[in-house]
Each structure stands twice: as structure tokens, then as C-alpha cells.
Amino acid sequence: MDTGEKIVKTLSSAGKPMKAGEIAEAAGIDKKEVDKVIKKLVADGKLHSPQRCFYDIKK
């Protein structure tokens, strides 16, 4: 499972928007790596930011 999949899985199991640091802690991934992958997932349209610094799965 790659980092992007882990992030999406972590967000889907949380069921609520999370900050990058919370995602990193819950998924056991380095925060810098999470920040980098989140930017890519947002650009790809898989995630969105419902409010500043929070991310959620795009429905």
C-alpha cells in the first residue's frame, strides 16, 4: 500500500476532516511525506480542503 492509499484509508476510517499532522500520526507516516502526498491528492481531485489546514475525501 502506498502513502496515498494510506492517507485515503485513514481519512475514510476517521469519517471527518483531519489536519495533516493528525493524518501522519494516525497512519504512522512522516508529516513531511503526508504534506507532499496530500498536495498531489488534492491536485488529482481525490481530496479537498473543507476548511483551512483540514483535508477530507472528495465525495
Residues 6+ apart with CB under 8 A from 57: 8, 11, 12, 46, 47
Instruction: Please choose, from the candidates 40, 58, 52, 50, the residue with its C-alpha nearest in 3D space to the C-alpha of residue 17.
Output: 50
Instruction: Look at residue 21 in the predicted model and tell me its pLDDT.
Output: 97
Number of domains in the chain: 1
Chain mean pLDDT for the chain: 96
pTM, to two decimals: 0.90
The CATH number linked to 19 is: 1.10.10.10
Question: What residue type is 49 in one-letter code?
Answer: S
Which region holds residue 16: left if phi is over 0, alpha if psi is between -120 and 50, else beta? beta
- Specify the pLDDT at position 37: 97
Q: Structural domain of residue 16, as residue ranges?
A: 3-57
- The predicted pLDDT at position 1 comes to 81
Q: Give the mean pLDDT per block of 10 residues along the chain (59 residues).
A: 94 96 96 97 96 93
